[in-house]
Amino acid sequence: MIVVDSCGWLEYFSAGPLADEYYSYLKDPARVIVPTIAIYEVYKKIKREAGEEKALLAVAQMQTSNIASFANGVVLLAADLSLAYNLPMADAIVYATAKINNAKLVTSDEHFTGLESVVFIA
């Protein structure tokens, strides 16, 4: 199982230079876990930049994967990870979701550089 950070989804949806690398992780939705905070971040950014219709289409595609909502275990671990690694709230929630699900986190976000179970795409 893998968790793709919001930056990876946005790179994929915008057909950015790293989109093909992210697609290699996203092509099997049954293996992908999507934290609800990632849906929030992706929807917000795409709606702001490309409109509601494109944002809703992106969310619909994300929802074909396994959605991980906030649960007590996730939020408490996220708080601990935020304190330990100085992670912003959303990043801590994404990382906690990966850790709780024994999944790798795939990202290009430098906040995660050097952390355990992180696949960094540069």
Name the stretches of the chain with pLDDT < 50.
Answer: none
Look at residue 70 in the predicted model and tell me its pLDDT. Answer: 82
Token duo for residue 91:
């990043």
Task: Name residues whose C-beta falls within 8 Å of residue 10's C-beta, 6 or more positions apart in sequence.
Answer: 16, 41, 42, 45, 46
> Domain limits at 28?
2-120
Q: Can you give the pTM of this predicted structure?
A: 0.93
Q: Are 49 and 71 in contact (CB under 8 A)?
A: no
Q: How far apart are CA 99 and CA 104, in angstroms?
A: 8
Of the candidates 90, 89, 95, the one whose C-alpha atom is nearest the C-alpha of residue 116 is 95
Question: Number of folded domains in the chain?
Answer: 1
Question: How confident is the model at residue 24, as a pLDDT?
Answer: 97
Question: CATH number, domain at 71?
Answer: 3.40.50.1010
